[in-house]
Structure 1
Amino acid sequence: MDFQIVALVIAAIVLVFIIRSLKVVPQQNAWVVERLGRFHAVLNPGLNILVPFIDRVAYKHSLKEIPLDVPSQVCITKDNTQLAVDGILYFQVTDPMRASYGSSNYIIAITQLAQTTLRSVIGKMELDKTFEEREAINVAVVNALDEAALNWGVKVLRYEIKDLTPPNEILRAMQAQITAEREKRALIAASEGRKQEQINIAEGERQAFINKSEGERQAEINIAQGQAAAIVAVADATAEAIRKIASAIQQPGGTEAVNLKVAEKAVEAYAQLAQKNNTMIVPGNMTEVSALIGTAMTLMKGATPSGR
């Protein structure tokens, strides 16, 4: 029995030694080992062997990206306006040894530094700029934290502002300003619409007047061209008639025919004057009338034999 008890005790001691000697580190984790109270090594993911009762795991760090909520705080802007700001910080442990011994609590250190840096950055800006320059604020906080966090074995990846909350009276003033700006834009849009409407009406009237004047001008041109064509046609007909008359005169007996025609017209004219007027019109030189009649009779007598 004593031998069995001793064997059990020895087996238990061996089991304890094995348990304390073998350490399995999960993926994306790093464990810091101290040997007799001093830093010894960093255990990588996988199976690791320690010296029991001499080595111990002092710190365990996750190498994953860690989100850290930065508590809300009141910041004073350049134009002396209070502004409540809160955000979220993303960091990652890159040096487990420094993360273990560089600071007593690197999470608290990062949080406090993020708050003080944020107050400093916002204090250099006016209220309106803080809403417009959120990206610049984020970059400034990350740069300041990343430089200081090197001694803590931590890499600050990014910082994002979640909320910027001014006091209620400032919110009401901003809302009134936004409302006024929208009303102003509405009025400007309406006036621009009326202006464009007037421009379109004026342009339409101008184009209509131009079209009307062009139509009238074209009509006058067409009328003038028609009249010119008519005059040319009449002139051509007259010229053709004159040419035919001249050609007829040059024929045998043409001169006598012309004289006869003139005499007939003269006699007809005197006859018409006598019919239309109560007063008898007598030519001043009666010999001209008798000569004209005689010429006509002579021509008629001469024309009769030629006709035969």
Structure 2
Amino acid sequence: MTTLLVFGIIGILLIFFSLVTVQQGNIAVISMFGKYQRILHPGLNFKIPLIESVFKVISIQNRSIELEFQAITIDQANVYFKSMLLYSVINQEEETIKNVAYKFIDAQSLMQTLVRTVEGSIRSFVATKRQSEILSLRKEIVSYVKDQIDQVMEEWGYHLQDLQLNDITFDEVILKSMSQVVASNNLKAAAENEGQALLITKTKAAEAEGNAIKISANAEREAAQLRGQGVALFRQEVAKGMSDAAREMQQANLDTSVILFSMWTEAIKQFGEQSNGNVIFLDGSADNMQRTMQQMMSVNQLQTIKQNKKKES
């Protein structure tokens, strides 16, 4: 009875030690007498008690590391980086899990190697660039690092998912000089914009003034043309009226010079009524009157000759 009890207890213990529970997001590596045997996936698994043992439990979840380090540019400027590294096991295949389990003695050695590799890649890239270029090369730095260490990490069984350069700073002297450069560039841009705005304003004003001058000139030309036409019509009407009056006086056997005398006196009347002055000086001597009448009669004769020529043509 006692023997059965002992065997029963031993059997229970063997069953107990043969059960292995692997948590979700992990894979267990089983070894036999120190040699790799197989892997166990999440859930309840069995192993040979006392012969097989769990060598290591590998997490297949994403892991992150925060990095802070310094690099030097080609123009000897110190650059300070704060970054976050995100990585994980490539996949759950057996060969990948073996690499993860046996490449490094422990997780601390993996972390140290990974950090130094990333820092070295970034430093080698920064060493070929100038300080003024670094801030605009975040994407290029990340791409360069991924190209440099992806193959190495795959040999370890890991994959670099993301590298975020959260903060890139320089020495205080460099930051101050960069601020001055930005400020001067802003002032330059503002001055250029102000100059362009002033140029546009002046150009528009000149165009408006030119258009106003053109409009005024066109209006003046049209007004002068209309005035000329009006004067011409007035002269035609005057000439027509004088011709009709002269014809009627000739038919009545009257001297046509009376018309000229009447026009002369009418003109004097208009001078007196329309002029702003108070005095009109006229030579009222007999000689002057006779000379004026002769001149007016000569004008009348010329006008009559022109009208006769027009009728003949």
Shorter-chain TM-score above 0.5: yes
Q: Structure 2 vs 1, CA of residues 205 and 43 (structure 1 numbering), >3 Å: closer, same or farther?
A: same
Q: Would you say the 8 A contact 2:83–2:163 is kept in 1?
A: yes
Aligned pair in 2 of structure 1 residues 149, 216: CA closer, same or farther (>3 Å)?
same
- State which of 86, 91, 100 in structure 2 corresponds to 1:90: 86
**Paired letter, 2:78:** Q
Q: Is the 8 A contact 1:91 1:155 kept in 2?
A: yes
Aligned pair partner of 1:124 in 128, 134, 139: 128
Deviations 1:16-63 (A, max 9, x none): 323322223233322111111111112122322111111111111221
Alpha carbon RMSD of aligned pairs, Å?
3.3
Q: Write the mapping of 1:215-254 to structure 2, written as runs, cut at 5 A.
A: 215-224=219-228
SS in 2 for 1:34: strand
Q: How many residues align?
A: 254
CA contact (8 A) 1:106 1:152 kept: no
* Equivalent residue in structure 2 for 1:23, among 20, 30, 42: 20
Task: Call closer, same or farther: CA 1:120–1:277 in 2, change over 3 Å.
Answer: closer
From the superposition, tell whether residues 40 and 267 of structure 1 become closer, same or farther in structure 2 (CA, over 3 Å): closer
Correspondence for 2:173 among 147, 169, 173: 169
- Partner amino acid, structure 1, of 2:53: R
Using the alignment, how far apart are the partners of 1:220 and 1:51 within structure 2?
A: 122
Quick one: distance in 2 between partners of 1:268 and 1:182? Answer: 89
How many angstroms apart in 2 are the aligned matches of 1:163 and 1:277? 112
1: CA distance, partners of 2:224 / 2:11: 126
- Structure 2 residue runs without a partner (length 5+): 91-95, 262-283, 291-313
Structure 1 stretches lacking a partner, 5+ long: 246-257, 282-308
Residue of structure 1 equivalent to 2:144: 140
Q: After the TM superposition, which of the residue ranges 126-135 and 159-168 deviates more from structure 2?
A: 159-168
Give the structure 2 partner of residue 213 of structure 1: 217
CA distance in 2, matches of 1:199, 1:128: 39
Matches within 5 A, 1:275-290: none
Structure 1 residues 228 and 125: alpha-carbon distance in aligned structure 2, compared to 1, 3 A threshold? same
In the aligned structure 2, how far is the partner of 1:13 from the partner of 1:81? 71
Distance 2:228 2:74 in 1: 83
The alpha-carbon distance between structure 1 residues 143 and 267, as it changes in their structure 2 partners (threshold 3 A), is: closer
Instruction: State the Cα distance separating 1:226 from its structure 2 match.
Output: 5.2
**Which TM-score applies when normalising by structure 1?**
0.70
Instruction: State whether residues 77 and 125 of structure 1, in contact with CA within 8 Å, keep that contact through their aligned partners in structure 2.
Output: yes
- Aligned pair in 2 of structure 1 residues 210, 268: CA closer, same or farther (>3 Å)? closer
The answer to whether residue 202 in structure 2 is matched with residue 201 in structure 1 is no
Q: Residue type of the partner of 1:102?
A: K
Residue 32 in structure 1 maps to residue 29 in structure 2: yes
- 1:42 alignment counterpart: 39
Partner residue of 1:191? Answer: 195
Q: Match of 1:90, SS?
A: strand
Q: Does 1:265 align with 2:237?
A: no
Question: Which position in structure 1 is the counterpart of 2:159?
Answer: 155
Contact 2:29 2:36 in 1 (8 A): yes
| TM-score normalized by the length of structure 2 | 0.69
Q: Give the aligned residue type for 1:54.
A: I
The Cα offsets for residues 102-144 of structure 1, whole Å up to 9 and x where unpaired, read as: 2333332211111111111111111111111111001111111
Mark the CA change 1:50 to 1:210 in structure 2 (over 3 Å): closer, same or farther.
same
Q: Please list every run of at least 4 consecutive aligned residues from structure 1 whose deviation after the TM superposition is greater than 6 angstroms.
A: 228-235, 276-279
- Residue 261 (structure 1) shift: 4.8
Q: Displacement of 1:170 after TM fit? A: 1.1
User: Percent same amino acid at aligned positions?
Assistant: 21
2:208 maps to a residue whose letter is G
Q: 1:79 deviation in Å? A: 0.6
Q: Structure 2 residue aligned with 1:53, among 31, 36, 50?
A: 50
Whether contact under 8 Å (2:87, 2:160) holds in the other structure is yes
Code of the aligned partner of 1:74 = Q
